[in-house]
Copies of this chain bind each other. A is one copy, B any other.
């Protein structure tokens, strides 16, 4: 494992910054969050991926969630050096009660700091277990 404690804290702060930027529409700060070649993986919804921050912002402008909270950050370094992050989110929609879901991310270290390289957002559905 090559991640330092400083890296682990920076990555947590990156995920927190995401919520601040998208909720306050701080579009001049998107480069603090997203890598240049960022991909928003939409395969969970069967629709094409979003490429680059501009695509993502256009989508967020019409979004239904007005508040994004990130919790339960688990950072893993794979054997090939890929840094994956699994976290959970709570989102407040304009209509109805809060929703819960997961973020599955790949983050990369850039010259300016850690950035999201890939994010997949999944909504967790109510389930009755046996």
Q: Name A residues whose Cβ lies closer than 8 Å to a Cβ of B.
A: 5-6, 8-9, 12-13, 15-17, 19-20, 23, 25, 61-63, 66-75, 86-88, 90, 92, 94, 97-98, 100, 102, 124-130
Contact = CB atoms under 8 A, between A and B. Distances in A.
How would you classify the secondary structure of chain A's contact residues: helix, strand, loop or mixed? Answer: mixed
7 closest residue pairs by CB, A with B: A67-B100, A16-B72, A69-B71, A19-B72, A92-B100, A5-B5, A16-B74
Given A5-B6, A88-B67, A100-B69, A74 B20 contact: yes
A96 to B, nearest CB: 9
Given A8-B9, A20-B74, A74-B17, A130 B62 contact: yes
A68 B101 CA distance: 10
Contacts of A97: 97-98
Given A71-B70, A72-B69, A9 B5 contact: yes
A90 B74 contact: no
A24 to B, nearest CB: 8
A76 B12 CA distance: 14
A126 B73 contact: no
